[in-house]
Amino acid sequence: MDTRGDGDTATHQFDATRVQGNEFYELTDVLRNSETTFASVDTLEPDLEDIFLRIIETETEQEQEQEQEQEQEQEQEQEQEQEQEQEQEREQEQEREQEQVHTDG
């Protein structure tokens, strides 16, 4: 609980995250009956906007992960192609060297 005051009034802030359902309404009734004025009440349950934003964020993250995986796969494929090309070039060079040995000998 956080308490601030300016002499005549006091402001109390507290976290009632374990209060649910009817308990919440009972708590607010007790506070009203004690002539407490509410400055604000924040709920922990998401509203439709929060849910929508979570879905969009999740989809965006999944899309980014898929793009990264695709990029990695493409890079691996390119590396494999380069290795195959280099191997083919080495084999061709060896064949040329063998042909030269046969023609020289």
Residue 40 in this model has a pLDDT that exceeds 90: no
Q: What angle do CA 89, 71, 65 make, to 5 degrees?
A: 155
pLDDT for residue 70:
95
pLDDT for residue 73:
96
Closest CA to 13 of 48, 38, 45, 49: 38
Q: Per-residue DSSP letters for 45-99?
A: S--HHHHHHHHHHHHHHHHHHHHHHHHHHHHHHHHHHHHHHHHHHHHHHHHHHHH
pLDDT for residue 44:
73
pTM: 0.42
* Long-range contacts from 7-13, C-beta under 8 angstroms, 24+ separation: 11/39
Distance CA 99, CA 94 (A): 9
- 46 contacts: CB under 8 Å, gap ≥ 6: 54
60-105: pLDDT as tens digits = 999 999 999 999 999 999 999 999 999 999 999 998 888 887 777 6
At 10, which helix (H) or strand (E)?
strand 10-13
